Amino acid sequence: MSIKGKAYIAGIYEHPTRKAEDKSLAQLHAESARGALADAGLSASDVDGYFCAGDAPGLGPLSMADYMGLKLRHVDSTDTGGSSYIIHVGHAAEAIALGKCNIALITLAGRPRSEGQATGTAARTTQNTPDAPFENPYGPATANMYAMCAMRHMYQYGTTSEQLAWIKVAASHHAQHNPHAMLRNVVTVEEVVSSPMIADPLHRLDCCVISDGGGAIVVASPEVARSLRRPKVKIIGAGEAPKHQMGGQLDLTYSGAVWSGPAAFAEAGVKPPDIKYASIYDSFTITVLMQIEDLGFCEKGQGGRFVSDGNLISGTGKLPFNTDGGGLCNNHPANRGGLTKVVEAVRQLRGEAHPAVQVKNCDLALAHGTGGSLGTRHGAASVIMERE
């Protein structure tokens, strides 16, 4: 059994806020849900499946179903960090294919900026995981974990800071057209590599923004999708896989995308060169580079060459990516970038991206995410969507 063609993305919404001091977490989830349902032409009473992850308050689906007054027959609170929502799209398609629900709502929201979180640089302190006593004493933050991946990639494949910088440059070219983006200035390779060092070899401009916000996605059965007056975006393949330290047989040069990507491509029956647009999780520049390799857009170790010279810029590059500006420039709500990756891919497939970055004849797109930490344990998730 496959999910191919069994479900459609019917509604999307990206909350416009980037700083939400005057709103609660539940409110941001619900406002995002309202937005996505309105986009689909549906109402909250139509929803019979609900998906959320660890950013939701309390016992996610219970607290949020209560707050939003949803009457549900299917819930899923799979939490793999920022990749959760890409997994949710696949799981929603599975649930719809099995008849467990017809209209699935996925929400994400968070207020790390208002709460003053030092998302990337504060050392982790939670003690309730089996790995914690063996890691926390050493000061693992977010930035230095991804930095260790970058350091090893540079050592093993000769990747340079300038090559990584091209990823930020491309994102900034896209973000200039997004009025909601936190950072709208176009930057140069020189500006990226001369920005302050955060954790060697990652500079400040190799890191994503810290933003409040949220987003939501509505996934619907083919029958429901046909009844709506919206462009039809079909889910045709999904893959997910966790990757970890493998009992000490550590290899930080690749991500779980080496498993989630091929699974999604096989289910969809397409290949990497067929993809017209890719949303690729960009917590850091190195995240993008490794995922591009692991998804098969280029050979392992060639990512640095692939991303250089504007190859990710829409209109000029071979692989237009993150045309909303991505996490590097636009938005990283709740420190979790997976949901907005799906949202921009759907905009592209609908032809609703900003005209300056809209990919011509965009009929096949991929959204991929990494959640948790690339340097320790992470979840990888890929979803492939087609315009019908």
Partner 1 sequence: MQSRERRIQAPEPNPETQAFWKAADEGKLMIGKCLACGAVHYYPRAICPFCFSDRTELQQASGNGTIYTYSVMRRAPIPYAIAYVTLSEGPSMMSNIVDCDLDKIRIGQAVRLVFKASDGGPQVPMFTPA
Q: Which residues bind partner 1 (CB under 8 A)?
A: 121, 123, 125, 127, 130-141, 143-145, 147-152, 155, 196-202, 245-250, 252, 376
> Nearer Cβ to partner 1, position 139 or 269?
139
Tell the smallest beta-carbon distance from residue 192 to partner 1 (Å). 16
What is the Cα–Cα distance from 1 to 87, expressed in whole angstroms?
A: 18
Residue 248 C-beta: closest distance to partner 1, Å: 3
Nearest distance from C-beta of residue 203 to partner 1, angstroms: 10
CB of 336 to partner 1, least distance (A): 22
Shortest Cβ 301–partner 1 spacing (Å): 16
Instruction: Quote the least distance from Cβ 323 to partner 1, whole Å.
Output: 30
Tell the smallest beta-carbon distance from residue 161 to partner 1 (Å). 13
Q: Which amino acid is at 286?
A: I
The phi, psi pair for 150, rounded to 5°, reads: -65, -45
Residue 149 or 169: the one with the smaller Cβ distance to partner 1 is: 149
Distance of alpha carbon 280 from alpha carbon 21, whole angstroms: 29
Long-range Cβ contact pairs of 190-197 (< 8 A, separation 24 or more)? 192/161, 192/164, 192/165, 192/168, 193/161, 193/162, 193/165
82: DSSP letter: B
Instruction: In angstroms, give the least distance from the CB of 167 to partner 1.
Output: 18
**Count of C-beta atoms within a 10 Å radius of residue 5:** 15
The CA-based angle 204-205-210, given to 5 degrees, is 75
DSSP 133-202: HHHGGG---SHHHHHHHHHHHHHHH---HHHHHHHHHHHHHHHTT-TT-S--S---HHHHHTSPEEETTE
Closest to partner 1 by CB, 135 vs 274, is 135
Whole-angstrom distance, CA of residue 375 vs CA of residue 96: 34
- Closest to partner 1 by CB, 225 vs 374, is 374
Nearer to partner 1, 116 or 355 (CB): 116
> At which residue do the structure tokens 């045709």 appear?
236
> Which two three-digit tokens encode residue 318?
């071979």
Give the containing element (helix H, strand E) for 114: none
Nearer Cβ to partner 1 (55/294) = 294
- Nearer to partner 1 by Cβ, of 155 and 266: the residue is 155
Q: Which is nearer to partner 1, 125 or 361 (CB)?
A: 125
Query: CB atoms < 10 A from the CB of 299, how many?
Result: 10
